[in-house]
Amino acid sequence: MEDGLFAADGDPAEPTADSRLASTAKPELPLAVRMRPQSLDEIVGQQHLLGERAPLRRLIAGSGAASVMLYGPPGTGKTTMASLISQATGGRFEALSALSSGVKEVRAVIDMARRRLAHGQQTVLFIDEVHRFSKTQQDALLDAVENRIVLLVAATTENPSFSVVAPLLSRSLVLNLQSLTDDDIAAVVRRAVADPRGLDGSVTLSDEALAHLVAVAGGDARRALTALEASADAVEPGGEIAVADVEAAIDRAAVRYDRSGDQHYDVISAFIKSIRGSDVDAAMHYLARMITAGEDPRFIARRLMIHASEDVGMADPTALQTAVAAAQVVQMVGMPEAQLALSQATIHLATAPKSGAVTSALGTAMSDVAAGKAGAVPTHLRDGHYAGAKKLGNAVGYRFPHDDPDGVLAQQYPPDALVGVDYYLPTDHGFERELAPRVGRLRSIVRGIASRGRSQR
């Protein structure tokens, strides 16, 4: 479980049985777990979702019932809010992780929820990292969500518009959680130092150490509390946590990068544009940022494969092979070793000659199709493998290229309206420099240029 959010002002709420258990019976629980909010009043941030009439406030207050899709960066309260919604509805809380659960586990929970519902008890099903569920796994939830057999609270660090199937998305209230501000993080840390569920005033915290904790948290409350706890462990009771204590407790700085917000899209955009611009060093910097921040390596691999065709294309046909191979390493070997394959693919693509000819060829051809420039398939190219095909003229007159000594001969392939149209226009970059004359010769032979003019887009 994750996420802890805390109120900045006021006395701590009266401890619940769960909070007393966290602070006394199980002192070994991490600080972030012990300090998880027990009520709306303890939540810091997300005021755009927790206003007087906001839907999330109504859900947590128990005055509404709807399946919810919570998406936002780590440490912003997704798990906390799921737990509070469960408490408000009085339902049974069930949690699944998309990293370790399959269709079998989902159906088992739904079957149990159906039996509970027959006895009047609602089940709140929390699914963490729902974007990692396959389409089949997500589809398995549809009927249960539609008929409110379960009240689904799903958490994701990726935009659900791109990672969750449309039918499930349409049945859920989608709420975007935002990174906590520096002031929010400071409030989280101060409360954890003073609260009986936290450090209970056993240490103090210098202003400089607080500022450093805020800086390395990157908007993630859980990261801040983890760093605070590690820092406090190195200080004697009654002592003060200094900047040096925080630095010693943190082995690397937090990278300000969230996997579903603006930083996610900004960094991947900069990564691709650096590769396109052939700046291998900048590309490696952005790759390192993504890897350090825990970006899904499959996402990086997908972008590399797309880029290999989109911006390198036939200028270096081996670029796509390298990108695909890196994706296979990610799939078959996994991290951290796969980061080397991602690095190799990044370097290959960044240093490769560039061409947008593949992208332009497809885009122009699709524009013509969309504009209605299609026309009938020439009869000699149509399927002739069924009874009566030849009577319709299908496949009659087709010339088999392999019968020609050169393997290519004059013959019409496009519809009449597109005869002579050039879609693929090779550049003079990389391998396309060699390919361009060949493409020209092939067009001349196939089109019979001596007897038919050519048009170029």
Do residues 96 and 143 both lie within one domain?
A: yes
Do residues 431 and 322 both lie within one domain?
A: no
Task: Let me know if residue 395 belongs to a domain.
Answer: yes
Task: Let me know if residue 32 belongs to a domain.
Answer: no
Q: Which of 336, 351, 366 is the last residue of a domain?
A: 351
Task: Let me know if residue 86 belongs to a domain.
Answer: yes
Domain count, the chain: 3
CB of 106 closer than 8 Å to CB of 142:
no
Do residues 162 and 56 both lie within one domain?
A: yes
Q: Which of 148, 176, 204 is the last residue of a domain?
A: 176
Helical segments of 195-236, H only: 207-217, 221-233
pLDDT in tens, 236-278: 999 999 988 887 776 544 444 444 444 666 788 889 999 999 9
3-state secondary structure of 273: helix
- pLDDT at residue 15 greater than cutoff 50: no
pLDDT for 199 equals: 92
Task: Let me know if residue 362 belongs to a domain.
Answer: no
pLDDT for 313 equals: 93
Do residues 291 and 333 both lie within one domain?
A: yes
> For the chain, percent helix, then strand, then coil, each to nearest 5?
50, 10, 40
Hey, CA dihedral for 54, 56, 57, 59, is it positive or negative?
A: positive
pLDDT for 89 equals: 67
Domain that holds residue 79: 46-176
Q: Tell me how many degrees the CA angle 60-15-200 measures, rounded to the nearest 5.
A: 120
CATH number at residue 277: 1.20.272.10
- pLDDT at residue 370 greater than cutoff 70: yes
- Of 98 and 387, more confident: 387
- Of 316 and 295, more confident: 316
pLDDT in tens, 174-199: 888 877 888 989 999 999 999 999 99
Task: Let me know if residue 68 belongs to a domain.
Answer: yes
pLDDT in tens, 25-83: 345 688 888 888 887 778 887 777 777 777 777 777 655 567 888 887 777 778 777 77
Do residues 347 and 395 both lie within one domain?
A: no
Beta bridge partners of 173: 68
CATH number at residue 149: 3.40.50.300
Do residues 51 and 151 both lie within one domain?
A: yes
pLDDT for 263 equals: 60
Could you tell me how many residues make up the chain? 457
- Distance of alpha carbon 262 from alpha carbon 185, whole angstroms: 19
pLDDT for 65 equals: 64
- Distance of alpha carbon 300 from alpha carbon 330, whole angstroms: 10
Residue found under tokens 């299609």: 374
Q: Which of 317, 351, 385 is the last residue of a domain?
A: 351
Do residues 399 and 332 both lie within one domain?
A: no
pLDDT in tens, 131-165: 878 888 888 888 888 888 888 888 887 778 777 88
DSSP string spanning 11-61? PPPPP-HHHHIIIII-TTS-HHHHT--SSGGG--S-TTTSSTT-HHHHHHT
Residue found under tokens 């805020």: 214
Task: Let me know if residue 312 belongs to a domain.
Answer: yes
Do residues 407 and 447 both lie within one domain?
A: yes
- Of 107 and 354, more confident: 354
pLDDT for 452 equals: 42
- pLDDT at residue 84 greater than cutoff 80: no
Do residues 283 and 343 both lie within one domain?
A: yes
pLDDT for 119 equals: 85
- pLDDT at residue 14 greater than cutoff 60: no
pLDDT in tens, 273-314: 999 999 999 999 989 988 887 778 888 999 999 999 999 999
- pLDDT at residue 315 greater than cutoff 80: yes
pLDDT for 18 equals: 38
Task: Let me know if residue 153 belongs to a domain.
Answer: yes
pLDDT in tens, 398-451: 888 998 888 888 888 898 888 888 999 999 999 888 888 988 888 888 888 744
Do residues 391 and 312 both lie within one domain?
A: no
Does the global pTM surpass 0.85?
no
State the first-to-last Cα distance of the chain, in angstroms, to the nearest integer.
58
Do residues 165 and 95 both lie within one domain?
A: yes
Task: Let me know if residue 257 belongs to a domain.
Answer: no
Do residues 334 and 397 both lie within one domain?
A: no
3-state secondary structure of 358: helix
pLDDT for 255 equals: 45
Residue 68, class by beta-carbon neighbours within 10 Å (0-12 exposed, 13-18 middle, 19+ buried)? buried
- Distance of alpha carbon 88 from alpha carbon 119, whole angstroms: 19
